[in-house]
Amino acid sequence: MNRRDFSRTVLLGAAASLAASTVPRYARAAEPLKIGLLAPLSGPLTRVGQTNRNCAALAVDEINAAGGLLGRPLQLSVEDTQMSTAVTLEKARQLFMRDDVAMITGMVLPSEREAALQAARPARKLVVYPNFDEGRCDPQLLTTGLAASQRIEPLIAWLMRDGGRSVCAVVSDIGSNRKVLIPQLQAAVARHGGKFLDVYWLPFGTRDYGAVLQQVGSAGPQIVWHSIGDDPVTFVKQYRSFAMKPQLVTDIAHESLSIATTGASTGTIGVSSYFMSIDNPENQAFLTRYTARYAGARDPRLGRYAVVLPHGENTYAGIRLFAEAVKSAGSVDADRIRAALPAVSVALPRGKTGVSHDGDHVLCQTRIGQALADNSFAILESTGPVIPVCQG
């Protein structure tokens, strides 16, 4: 080797050493710790799935910037549910068995949740469901949206604060609504001195609500509660087109739906764990980071921020809570994580958030908001945390 070649070799070696020194030690010394994102990335719920994926990636980046988990970098493995129960089951099995993920999150539909749980049981892994639910409890499930009891009781109590009022409900005809939501709604209305007049069941796929709205109008309620899960945009637009007078109330309300209804949502009262208008430093930082990283030219905006669906904040919250529980447990074993979850508390965009004593649902404030003409929500009340009621 001549002198020129020797010098070049020394310089290349020094450069390689310098580059290696700038990589976090844990990233060079350990295999990644994987978690799964299983979301509807095609079909009608694509935008929800994409928001979940973006918020999951944001959480993973933040955790890695702070040193990872258990000395290992966190890595996201992503799959598309295609809004199919069979595909969700197949992909969940692949994530657990092939990719060896420590947990799966991102599902939107209850059927996707159940398919993921079916795969999680033999794998002895955790499922984090980032949506509101009926109060589903399972030893391998953490739900980061509000349970039915966490939504209904606070909102009905607030609506009846000045005296009992009459209520009709228009809901999608699914099992959890028949078994959980409507019985809890009827009980809460009675408990607070109101009168529950009737419930109108509509099958998934309904697009013409005219006949039902005429019946509701004839009943003369002061409040109409809607839980139309498959097409709330069409329902709200038709509600306004019929010039309905009762106060419209829903547990399906967020800024993206307000934008989609092109003004028809204005005045609607909704209940959620998260609205973009929550005023705290964590939420402002979250929206700023999300907008800087993921906002495209065609993405809807609310003021200077890209619109973030509550499902996305639920996904972000689930990964942050999971990470804190892993740190506390010192392990990715699902049983040890579940045991650690009730002692976990994290400052999130929604505010300070913990987990119920059984590790099933989040404990956080329930927000009651009213849709404004600019598609934002005015926070009318914050209450809680409310202990979730487990429905098995």
Residue ranges of alpha helices (H) inside the chain are: 3-21, 25-29, 46-65, 85-93, 110-123, 148-159, 175-176, 182-191, 210-219, 232-241, 255-260, 281-294, 310-329, 334-340
- DSSP H or E segment with residue 369: strand 366-371
Model pLDDT, residue 29: 55
CATH of domain 149-272+371-383: 3.40.50.2300
The predicted pLDDT at position 205 comes to 87
Contacts (Cβ under 8 Å, ≥6 apart) of 3: none
Q: Token pair of 188, please?
A: 């809460």
Query: DSSP per residue over 243-272, as a string?
Result: T--SEEEES---HHHHHHTTTTTTT-EEEE
Mean pLDDT by 10 residues, the chain (392 residues): 45 44 50 97 95 98 97 98 97 98 97 98 97 96 97 97 95 94 97 98 94 97 95 96 96 96 97 98 97 90 96 98 98 96 97 95 98 98 94 81
Angle at 251 between CA 147 and CA 212, to 5 degrees: 130
Sign for the CA dihedral angle at 217, 220, 222, 223 comes to negative
Determine the pLDDT at residue 16.
Answer: 44
| 134 CB-near residues (< 8 Å, 6+ apart) | 110, 147, 148, 176, 177, 179, 180, 181, 391
pLDDT of residue 83: 95
- The per-residue b/e assignment along 351-360, b for 16 or more CB within 10 angstroms, e otherwise, is bebbbbeebb
Nearest to 86 by CA among 109, 117, 115: 115
Nearest to 259 by CA among 108, 83, 46, 47: 47
DSSP letter for 374, please: T
Instruction: Give the architecture-level CATH label for domain 26-146+295-360.
Output: 3-Layer(aba) Sandwich (3.40)
What pLDDT score was predicted for residue 296? 85
Hey, what are 3's tokens? 């002198």
β-strands 366-371, 377-383: how paired? antiparallel
Cβ count near 103 (within 10 Å): 25
Name the segment(s) of the chain with CATH classification 3.40.50.2300.
Answer: 26-146+295-360, 149-272+371-383
Q: What are the Cα distances from residue 30, in Å, to 24, 66, 69, 73, 118?
A: 11, 16, 11, 8, 30
Task: Give the 3-state secondary structure of residue 163.
Answer: coil
Distance CA 82, CA 39 (A): 8
Residues 6 or more apart whose Cβ sits within 8 Å of residue 266: 258, 371, 372, 373
Looking at the whole model, is its pTM more than 0.95?
no
The residue type of 242 is F
Rounded Cα gap, residues 355 and 143, in angstroms: 9
Using DSSP's 3-state secondary structure scheme, residue 125 falls into: coil
